[in-house]
Structure 1
Amino acid sequence: DVIPLISSSSQLTCVHLSLAAINDQKQYYLIEQNRTWEDAQSYCRANHTDLAMIENEEENRNVTTVRREHKTWIGLYREPWMWSDGTNSSFRNWMRRAPDNQYEQEHCAVEHPDHRWDDQDCSLQGHFICQGGKKNLNSLRNISNCSCVV
């Protein structure tokens, strides 16, 4: 199941409570399939752009627009910590005492339902967030049965 999570600002108002869309922002998709971090990355690259890369506070707010019950893979991995596409950013949203690299096996990042990040063993399976790149949404558009109006 693919659930679009989206972006910020007041460009579009979405009737569905957990979805929104915005002009010229990254579009995020919650994928409710269990996969390892590497398999999630492959899925996102084949079907979207990449695993979610949350590079600043605004993008972090955009990703938090959908409530979810499980932690989800995001595109951060290490050493040193960098995004799935090989870029780096100084923005981090770690939970308290993270990252801790427990048993020296936690090299990938997950986002918890409270939207804080933690490191986790990359071979574990979980849901994940893909990003679809920049979208230009200047007109009325339906996203997964969600009527959005300008």
Structure 2
Amino acid sequence: MKYQHWVKIVLLLLGVKANRYFHQYHLILESKTWTEAQRYCREKYTDLATVDNMEDMNQLMAAGKGYSGEVWLGLVRANTGRWQWSDGSRDLHYTNWAATEPNDIDGTGNCVEINSLGKWNDLSYQTQNYVACYECEAFDCRSRDDVKGEPFFVVHSGSWTWNESQIHCKEAHVDMAVVLSKEDNEVIRGLAFNNSVWIGLFREYWEWSDPSATYFRYWKREKPDNLGGNENCVLSVLGEQGVWDDWPCEWQFPFFCHGPLKSKLSVVKTRILSTSDPNELGISDQLLQQLQVQLGNLKVSDYRLSWKVQQDGQIFQEEEEGGPEQKGGCEVEEG
């Protein structure tokens, strides 16, 4: 009696599953342009590195330990120019612009303050203001879609650039203040004692290669500056705590990819001759062990071996005696 069966062999180039809460970063010490680095990462991993928050930045810095130069990230100029809240929400139904605002008067007015009169004004991120953050009584207030704990605002006095404000709010609170109503606006104005104060609204000109809808930024002071008008790609300066700088995409640097190494999947069809049903308990396990021994003899490593279960729930299917020969097949997912 002959039974045909399928053997599923997954040859893993990397036997580590990516952490669901953090990106898995890989420093590639080959100098490439941003576009070449993107192509490499998409072929070998998932994409150029995306950074969602400070936890990710810490992970990235740990992955780059021992190297202090510049490395490409996956952030690139998109020239969309849309208004966006720092926490990723897009509700801009309420606005309170001052007359003639936003006017982007010097070409750098990408961030928004509430001025002393309670009106909104677009300014350069390098301007120094008070900063308004928001907190929550419940963790899921972060989404502000199904609020179980009402958000409340915290204003910090002092001289903060918009980038410094964003980092501080994300680390110490939930994020920069999202203003959804006149009441929100007046509360923040009061907490700032009529001083100008940053809120979380900014004009977004950047997007991630993968593409992710994350709006965390970790710019170096006075960056991005688009020096020369062609600094359209972003790198991390590992020797300066990983802060970001905009740079011409044609320059060559090492780079970070994220995601696990892609696996190679092979499905191998084979036959066995047996006088007993190999679907019986224990027989299939013994056969799998024998296959693993054979793969070991062939010096094959870093793989996961398992049976492919058929639609009827069986691993092996009986062939009729004298029936047409069943041809084998192989399914491969290249890494």
Report the TM-score when normalising by structure 2.
0.33
- Identity of counterpart residues, as a percentage? 38
Contact 1:52 1:131 in 2 (8 A): yes
Residue 22 and residue 39 in structure 1: after superposition, are their counterparts in 2 closer, same or farther (change >3 A)? closer
Gaps of 5+ in 2: 1-16, 79-204, 262-335
Q: Which residue of 1 aligns with 2:233?
A: 108
SS at structure 2 position matched to 1:130: strand
What is the count of residue pairs matched by the alignment?
A: 114
Q: Which residue of 2 aligns with 1:75?
A: 74
Pick from 90, 94, 109 the counterpart of residue 215 of structure 2: 90
Report deviation, 1:133: 5.0
Provide Cα deviations, 1:63-109, integer angstroms capped at 9, x if missing partner.
11132121000000013211002333221000011000001110000
Q: Which amino acid aligns with 1:87?
A: S
What value does the CA root-mean-square deviation take over the aligned residues? 1.8
**Higher deviation after alignment, 91-100 or 61-70:** 61-70
SS at structure 2 position matched to 1:89: coil
Contact 1:41 1:51 in 2 (8 A): yes
The structure that is helix-richer by fraction is 2
1:129 correspondence with 2:256: yes
SS at structure 1 position matched to 2:38: helix
Contact 2:25 2:60 in 1 (8 A): yes
Gaps of 5+ in 1: 1-20, 135-150
SS at structure 1 position matched to 2:213: coil
Report deviation, 1:22: 7.2
Matches within 5 A, 1:1-150: 23-24=19-20, 25-65=22-62, 66-67=64-65, 68-79=67-78, 80-113=205-238, 114=240, 115-132=242-259
Contact 1:53 1:75 in 2 (8 A): yes
Report deviation, 1:26: 1.7
Q: Give the Cα separation in 2 of the matches to 1:44 and 1:73.
A: 11
Contact 1:81 1:88 in 2 (8 A): no
Provide Cα deviations, 1:123-146, integer angstroms capped at 9, x if missing partner.
000000000159xxxxxxxxxxxx
Deviating beyond 3 angstroms after TM superposition, the runs of 4 or more aligned structure 1 residues are: none
Contact 2:75 2:206 in 1 (8 A): yes
Q: Give the Cα separation in 1 of the matches to 2:211 and 2:40.
A: 17
Contact 1:41 1:50 in 2 (8 A): yes
